[in-house]
């Protein structure tokens, strides 16, 4: 039964600087430079303050950026270790790069477990691809140790993690290549877009060329494979208007997360805790239920109370209908996929929305 109260959307991008953006659109249309122009160049420069010091290559979206990054290190027959609990773009990108995904298990926060990654290494392993799930920094130190011990490249799918930080550096600065999203459901909420941070300088040219059909701008000789991954000037302009607001957006998300946690401490569920010293970007509010059987009725109860939620990420990667790859370990990934879901956390939630969400969870009949 519906509560009659307005629906609280699962996600809606933070309110943009509409007037500033409209002025930028006029500039873009007047100059006629619709992609790979000054807005994209300025975005690459300004993002450095958040994810530097690596070279930044703006691309059409994070999925494409992952393909570009993986293609830069791809070798025929090679394997890439990925977590079993992630959005399917991580796995798809490995396939598109011509390599084979190998699933290794996650820890209880849903992050690739370094011990599981180490156990998954085989003679064909080329790289480890960690994921900063929900904005939580992946285990940089643990995964770097495994990568270095076996001579592997270390990459991160940081789609969720713009603004997150490890103890001593921003997410973006730790992997050889890291790939971010600035799309509609992410912190900058642009129309679509992403970028690659290249920390291994020897790969920068390959990534940049991949994003423009394998050639450098101004010439037409292709030195390797490539696609059209150009960012539009409109996406770059929208992201540039959002960037000065990013710190505030992150703080607002952290405050919502803190309210949820404080209010639900006694409920039979768990919200992953980011270790002290690290900073989550709180892209998602992930909840893992003690009893997976509660998920469907609890989500239906929330829906009736006007609270939209999503299951994350069920089925687990190795259980996708079209899964191709090798599974080294996945028990915890499967368990989290069965009991996990995500609640609204975004900049357009009013304090009264947060109150409603908190109350709706507590009112779930099996818990109240």
Ligand X SMILES: Cc1ncc(COP(=O)(O)O)c(C=O)c1O
Cα 145 to chain centroid, rounded:
23
For ligand X, give the closer residue by CB, 63 or 74. Answer: 63
Cα 99 to chain centroid, rounded:
21
Least distance between ligand X and beta carbon 331 (Å): 21
SS3 289: strand
Least distance between ligand X and beta carbon 332 (Å): 17
Least distance between ligand X and beta carbon 137 (Å): 13
Q: Report whether 173 contacts 52 (CB < 8 A).
A: yes
Sign of the torsion angle spanned by Cα atoms 255, 257, 261, 264: positive
For ligand X, give the closer residue by CB, 198 or 361. Answer: 198
Strands (E), 199-245: none
For ligand X, give the closer residue by CB, 54 or 183. Answer: 183
Least distance between ligand X and beta carbon 82 (Å): 10
Dist CA 120 CA 101 (whole Å): 11
Q: Report whether 59 contacts 236 (CB < 8 A).
A: no
For ligand X, give the closer residue by CB, 264 or 312. Answer: 312
Least distance between ligand X and beta carbon 62 (Å): 3
Sign of the torsion angle spanned by Cα atoms 279, 141, 78, 313: negative
Tokens of 38: 């000054």
Dist CA 327 CA 83 (whole Å): 10
For ligand X, give the closer residue by CB, 137 or 306. Answer: 137
Q: Report whether 50 contacts 186 (CB < 8 A).
A: no
For ligand X, give the closer residue by CB, 82 or 328. Answer: 82
- Residues 268-305 as b or e (16 or more Cβ within 10 Å = b): ebbbbebeeebbbbbbbbbbbbeeeebbeebbebbeeb
Dist CA 230 CA 232 (whole Å): 6
For ligand X, give the closer residue by CB, 128 or 131. Answer: 131
Q: Which residue ranges make up the site for ligand X (CB under 6 A)?
A: 61-63, 86-87, 89-90, 131, 157, 159-160, 181, 183, 194
In 3D space, the residue among 325, 344, 362 whose CA is nearest the CA of residue 88 turns out to be: 325
- For the chain, the distance separating the N- and C-terminal CA atoms, rounded to the nearest angstrom, is 18
> 């946690």: which residue's tokens?
261
For ligand X, give the closer residue by CB, 155 or 305. Answer: 155
Least distance between ligand X and beta carbon 87 (Å): 3
Least distance between ligand X and beta carbon 213 (Å): 19
Least distance between ligand X and beta carbon 183 (Å): 4
């Amino acid at each position: 039964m519906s509560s009659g109260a307005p629906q609280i959307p699962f996600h809606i991008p933070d309110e943009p600087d509409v007037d500033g953006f409209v002025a930028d659109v006029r500039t873009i249309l007047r100059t006629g430079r619709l992609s790979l122009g000054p807005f994209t160049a300025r975005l690459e420069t300004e993002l450095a303050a958040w994810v530097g010091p690596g070279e930044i290559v703006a691309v059409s979206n994070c999925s494409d950026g992952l393909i570009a990054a993986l293609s830069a290190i791809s070798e025929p027959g090679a394997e890439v270790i990925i977590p079993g609990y992630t959005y399917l773009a991580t796995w798809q990108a490995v396939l598109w790069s011509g390599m084979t995904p190998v699933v290794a298990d996650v820890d209880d926060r849903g992050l690739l477990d370094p011990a599981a990654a180490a156990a998954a290494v085989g003679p064909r392993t080329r790289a480890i691809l960690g994921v900063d799930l929900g904005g939580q920094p992946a285990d940089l130190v643990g995964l770097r140790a495994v990568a270095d011990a076996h001579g592997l490249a270390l990459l991160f799918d940081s789609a969720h993690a713009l603004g997150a930080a490890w103890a001593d550096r921003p997410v973006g600065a730790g992997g050889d290549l890291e790939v971010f999203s600035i799309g509609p459901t992410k912190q900058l909420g642009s129309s679509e877009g992403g970028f690659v941070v290249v920390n291994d300088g020897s790969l920068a040219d390959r990534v940049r060329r991949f994003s423009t059909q394998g050639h450098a701008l101004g010439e037409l000789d292709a030195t390797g494979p490539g696609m059209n991954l150009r960012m539009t000037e409109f996406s770059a302009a929208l992201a540039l208007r959002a960037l000065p607001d990013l710190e505030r957006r992150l703080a607002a998300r952290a405050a919502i997360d803190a309210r949820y946690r404080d209010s639900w401490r006694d409920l039979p569920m768990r919200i992953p805790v980011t270790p002290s010293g690290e900073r989550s970007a709180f892209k998602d509010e992930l909840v893992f239920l003690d009893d997976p059987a509660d998920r469907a009725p609890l989500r239906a109860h929330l829906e009736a109370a006007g609270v939209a939620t999503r299951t994350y990420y069920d089925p687990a990667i190795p259980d996708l209908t079209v899964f191709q790859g090798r599974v080294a370990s996945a028990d915890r990934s499967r368990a989290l996929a069965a009991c996990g879901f995500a609640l609204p956390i975004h900049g357009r939630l009013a304090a009264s929305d947060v109150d409603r969400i908190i109350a709706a969870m507590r009112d779930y009949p099996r818990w109240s």
